[in-house]
Structure 1
Amino acid sequence: MTVLAKGPHAGYRANHAKGIVLTGSFTPSASAATLSKAPHFLQTVPVTVRFSNPTGIPTLPDASPNASPHGIAIRFQLPEGAVTDIVSISYNGFPVATPEDFLLFLNAVASTKPDSPKPTPVEQFLATHPAAMKFVSTPKPAPVSFSTLAFYGVNAFQFTNAKGQTEYARYRIEPLDGMKALTPEQASAAAPNYLMDELPTRVAKGPVKFRISAQIAAKGDSINDGTAVWPDDRPQIELGILSLDKMSPDSAAAEKLLAFNPLLLTDGIAPSADPVLLSRPIAYSVSVVRRLTTK
C-alpha cells in the first residue's frame, strides 16, 4: 500500500488516508432486537463516525475516479465503556475472496507502469478475476456529499437474538436524503476537498442521517466470500437510524488515534469465516503502529 500511495505519509493510514470525523447517536428500531441481542440494538448509544476516501494518498482530490469507493467506519459506544465497530464501503462487493488474492491484486497494480508491455500485470490479474474486473469497471460517480452515499458491508456476520435464533447478514447503510451524484462536468470542476468542506456546512444546518439495515442471507448464499453479492430481493431488517450532528473539534487528531476494527464485536454478533474479514485486524494493527510511530 505504501508503494501505491507513493509514501509513507507520516501519521496517515495506509489506506483510506483522507477522512473526516463526526459524532452523533444511533437509535435502534423496534425490529433490531428480533435479529440480535447486541446492546446497541436495545437502546440509543453515542457514535463516532469517520468518512473517508480510499488509497493511502492524503491529498487525493475528492472527485478523483480513484477516490471511490468511499468508506464509512462507525464506532458504537456501549454501556460500561465497551465499543463495537462497523466498517463499510460505498460499493456492494469486494474485488477478491481471499487475502492472498488481495495481495496479488495490489502487487499487480504496483508493478504496472505506463510503459508496461500489454497485457500489463494488472490487466492479466483482472482477466482471471471477474469480480475484481467488475469492481474496477463499474461506474462510481462522485457523490454530492458523503451524506448522499449508500454504504455496504461486504462481509457477513452471524447475528443472535435473545431467543438464541441466528441469522447471517450483511450491513446496508442508506442515506435518508437519498443517493445523489455529481454530473461529470460538476466532478471536473469540484474543489479538491469539496467533500471534506461540504460536510461541516451541511451538519451545521441539521443532522445527517442514515438508515442501517441488515440484509439476511438465504439458504445457499455464500457467507464467506465478499465477491458473492446477494440479490436485492433478500429480506432486510431495519436496525435503526444513525444521526450525525457534530463535527469532531479536531478531526486530524481524532483520525490519528481512532482504530476501527470490524472484529471488535459484542455479544449477539459474531464473525463469519470469511478469510478477508478474519485477516483485517492484523493489517489494521500494523497500520496503526506505523501511523503512530512513523516520523
Structure 2
Amino acid sequence: MALVRLSVPGAVAAGIASCFAWAGSEIIPGRTDETRLIEALEAHSGPQPGFRRNHAKGLCLHGWFEGNGAGLRLSTAQVFEPGRVPVIGRFSLPGGRPAKADGPNAARSMALHFTLPNGEVWRTAMNDTPVFPVRDAEGFHDNLVALKHDPATGKPDPAKVAAFLEAHPESARALALIKNHPVSSGFANTTYNSLSAFRLVDAAGKVTPVRWSMVPVDAFEPQPAERPEGRNYLFDALIARLDRGPVQWRLILTIGQPGDPTNDATVAWPADRETVDAGTLTVVAVESEAAGNCRDVNFDPLMLPQGIAPSDDPLILARSAAYAVSHSRREGETKHPSAVQK
C-alpha cells in the first residue's frame, strides 16, 4: 500500500499505514503496543517472510558523510566535526510487498547508518513528505483498522475512513499538506525529512530542538505527467543516475523556536526558521539487498550518538519498538532475493 497525494479521503484509503517508515516494551501502556502494529501491517500485505514489514522494497546505498563543522555550535556529536565518516543505508518505497510496482505518488524514503570514529553510530530514517500523517501509535493503529478491506469490495469501508478522519482531525490536516507538496521525478532529486523533532546538546549542555532534512544537490524536476514504463522505474532511474556519478545531499538542521511543537509530527514548523548546513552526504553506489549490507540493519531512530537526543515526540518510541518486532521476526525467517536487482 502506498501513500498517495490524492484527495484527503483518497490518501487515507490508499494507506497512511505505508508512511509508517520505521518499524520491546509497550508503546502506550494499556493501549497500543508494537506487536499489534506489526501484525496489522502484516495483515495488509499478506505473508512476506524475510522482508521488512513496511518499506519492503528497496536498494542498499553506500557512501560517506562529510561534516563541515557548522553543526558543532548546536551539538557535540562527532558526526558534525569536520571530516568524512562512512555511511550505508537504504532507499525504499512504502508498503509490505517487496515486488509491488513503483508508483509516481508513493512516498519515498532514505534510511542511513553513520559509523563514527569513536565507535558510536547514528541511524535515521526519513520520508519525502513534509509531515507525518498520524500523531502517535494509537492514531496509526486506528488508521489500520479503518483501512481494513471489505471482502465484498476489496476496498476500505468509506464510512470507517470518514469516522477515522473525524476522530483524528490532525490526520486530515496533515494529508492536505502532503497532497499539496511537490513531488520530484525520482530518488536522486528528492528532499528527505526527519519529520519528528530531536534535541541537539552542545558542549555547555544547551539543548536545541531541531528537525533535519537531506536536501538534494541535483535540481528538482517534477514527476512526469505519465507513469514511465517498468515495474522498478524509480529504482532503475536511480541506478542510471549513479552510473553518471555520485549523488549528493546537504544535511540541513532546522532550529525550532518556542511554540514550535516537538511532540506532533503532523504539524509543520514555519518556513522562516533558521537553518544550519551541517555537511554533505555523498552516495556513490547502490546494490541489491543481501547478507552483509543494509538488508539486516534495523534503522532504529533511537540509535543516537552523544549530542543527539530524542524529543518528546511519541512516534520516536513507537518507531523504535515496532522496528524491533519487525527485525526480530525477519531475522528468524528465510531470506529471499531482493525485488530490485542491481
TM-score surpassing 0.5? yes
Question: What's the offset of the Cα at 1:205?
Answer: 1.5
Matched, 1:258 2:276: no
* Alignment of structure 1 residues 47-126 onto 2, 5 Å: 47-65=87-105, 68-111=106-149, 114=153, 119-126=158-165
Question: What's the offset of the Cα at 1:143?
Answer: 3.7
Indicate the larger mover: 106-115 or 95-104.
106-115
Distance 1:3 1:115 in 2: 14
Q: Residue deviations 1:218-237, cap 9 Å, x none?
A: 11111111112101111111
Question: What's the offset of the Cα at 1:129?
Answer: 2.3
Question: What's the offset of the Cα at 1:80?
Answer: 4.1
* Cα distance change, pair 11–117 in 1 and its aligned pair in 2 (3 A): closer
Contact 2:60 2:295 in 1 (8 A): no
* Cα distance change, pair 99–172 in 1 and its aligned pair in 2 (3 A): same
Structure 1 residue runs without a partner (length 5+): none
Question: What's the offset of the Cα at 1:55?
Answer: 0.9
Q: Which residue does 1:165 correspond to in 2?
A: 206
Secondary structure at the counterpart of residue 81 of structure 1: coil
* Cα distance change, pair 164–293 in 1 and its aligned pair in 2 (3 A): same
Distance 1:205 1:64 in 2: 23
Secondary structure at the counterpart of residue 236 of structure 2: helix
Number of residue pairs the alignment of both structures matches: 289
Q: Which residue does 1:199 correspond to in 2?
A: 238
Q: Residue deviations 1:32-63, cap 9 Å, x none?
A: 11111101111320101211000111122212
TM-score using structure 1 length:
0.91
Matched, 1:215 2:254: yes
Distance 2:128 2:134 in 1: 16
Distance 1:184 1:135 in 2: 24
Contact 1:256 1:292 in 2 (8 A): no
Identity %: 34
Q: Which residue does 2:337 correspond to in 1?
A: none
Q: Residue deviations 1:123-179, cap 9 Å, x none?
A: 221233233224445156764221111111111111012232220000111111122
Of residues 208, 218, 227 in structure 2, which corresponds to 1:177?
Answer: 218
Contact 1:51 1:73 in 2 (8 A): yes
Contact 1:112 1:120 in 2 (8 A): no
Secondary structure at the counterpart of residue 270 of structure 1: strand
Of residues 5, 8, 11 in structure 1, which corresponds to 2:50?
Answer: 11
TM-score using structure 2 length:
0.79
Matched, 1:246 2:285: yes
Aligned-partner residue type, residue 121 of structure 1: K
Distance 2:109 2:289 in 1: 16
Contact 1:19 1:255 in 2 (8 A): no
Secondary structure at the counterpart of residue 79 of structure 2: helix
Contact 2:88 2:294 in 1 (8 A): no
Of residues 148, 156, 166 in structure 1, which corresponds to 2:189?
Answer: 148
* Cα distance change, pair 112–227 in 1 and its aligned pair in 2 (3 A): farther
Aligned-partner residue type, residue 89 of structure 2: V
Structure 2 residue runs without a partner (length 5+): 1-40, 335-342
* Cα distance change, pair 231–190 in 1 and its aligned pair in 2 (3 A): farther
Q: Residue deviations 1:246-284, cap 9 Å, x none?
A: 224x42433431111111001100101111111211100
* Alignment of structure 1 residues 16-35 onto 2, 5 Å: 16-35=55-74
| Runs of 4 or more consecutive aligned structure 1 residues displaced over 6 Å after TM superposition | 115-118
Secondary structure at the counterpart of residue 124 of structure 1: helix
